[in-house]
Amino acid sequence: MSKTGLEPRQAAVYLLDQILGDAPRLMSELLAAGALDKLAPEDRARAQRLATETLRGLERADRLLQKHLKKYPPLTVRNALRVGTVELCQGAAAHGVVNAMVTLVSRHRRLGQLKGLTNAVLRKIAAEGPEAWDALRAPRLPKWLRGPLVQAWGPEVVAAMERAHFVGAPLDLTAKSNPEKVAKATGGTLLPTGSVRIMQASQVSTMPGYETGEWWVQDAAAALPVRILDPKKGESVLDLCAAPGGKTMQLAAAGAEVTAVDTSEARMARVKENLTRVGLQARLLTEDARKVSGQWDAILLDAPCSATGTIRRHPDLPFAKDGSEFGALIELQSELLDHAWGLLKPGGRMVFCTCSLLPDEGEVQVEEALARHQDMRVDPDALKQPGVEADWITEEGGLRLRPDYWSGRGGMDGFYIACLRKAG
């Protein structure tokens, strides 16, 4: 572990350079490519936390910094200032933060001459920033995303979502068999829907029950699609777009005969690792879900989407994307839904879900699918699960979850979920 904190701070700045640069990349892509692999586990966690918290507070940090900058410095220096500002405004010791950021900039081959600027600006932030920080509004989403969301939900709801994004997300666990036992062992709280919530989580792999496979990490909202599908022991269940495998494990834990499908070999390797850790089994297929054949009793389709419902956990998403892929994703969702419907046995049921806040990827998809398939109906009774509130149910009979729900409990991911029944 770094004694000075320089290495994790330098790594955090590198992550921000890649996410906010001219060719933006998602943090998940950077981590998968080994961006932090050379760091000790504690430093790796700290670097990711610093980058994540800086992205959440980016608008506030920039507002404070612009008062002390005549013009914006190059991106790397700007990101060092941003990380330093967020740390200082969250109560970190000024001496350590300022020294680390000055050293970081001074070591840069092309930008070392800006170490004096870095020192001067961060000392001013240390004196004025913490008091000013809390007076600023919760950072807003970029216009490309905020506009469609305001159109869908209205400005007040979107502002509430933004407040939830800024707060971030606690750690949610899904128990393999005994949520009460997991809650007691981990010091967590049992949520109304059956997930276990940890407000102040330590390193996941060191938590009680991890090594013995008693639980896995899964947002409370993401755990609901399988509960709504309600798999039965011995049923043949198809899990399409399955990685990273949280829902696959839920299905297997219920005793279903699960076939999990995803296009990515690397992601399916992760599904296999997760299943092995928790002692569960499923048949794994690495292929395009649109090419799968066969007949199943029940199908779970967690379709590829904009992932706009996960911003409270992935604040890099609004900066690394621009919405240009929305059209292609919506078309893909329709194709997957239609193909999956043909794989469902008569009298069977399918849950369609997306971790999106956009109605075009949820409510509208189901409305249009109902018009295309005369043997399809929505089953709103399937939504009558513990903890599901009546005002979350939509006009067409689906379930709309938002990050501003459960604000007093720590929120939840944005999701759309619908249970579709096929005529017998």
Active-site residue set: 355
Q: Of all helices (H) and strands (E), which one includes residue 52? A: helix 41-56
Q: How far apart are CA 278 and CA 252, in angstroms?
A: 10
Q: How far apart are CA 311 and CA 80, in angstroms?
A: 23
Q: How far apart are CA 355 and CA 240, in angstroms?
A: 14
Nearest residue to 404 (alpha-carbon basis) of 158, 161, 138: 161
Would you call 197 helix, strand, or coil by DSSP? strand
Q: Residue ranges of the alpha helices (H) in 154-292?
A: 155-167, 179-186, 224-229, 246-253, 265-278
φ, ψ of residue 286 in degrees (nearest 5): -100, 95
Sign of CA dihedral 20, 23, 25, 29: negative
**Can you list the positions of beta strands (E) in 246-385?**
257-262, 283-286, 296-302, 344-354, 376-378
A 10 A CB-CB count for 392 gives 17
Q: How far apart are CA 244 and CA 350, in angstroms?
A: 20
Torsion of CA 230, 234, 240, 243, to 10 degrees: 90
Q: How far apart are CA 100 and CA 395, in angstroms?
A: 54
Counting every residue, how long is the chain? 424
Torsion of CA 37, 43, 47, 50, to 10 degrees: 170
Query: How far separated are the first and last CA of the chain, in Å rounded?
Result: 61
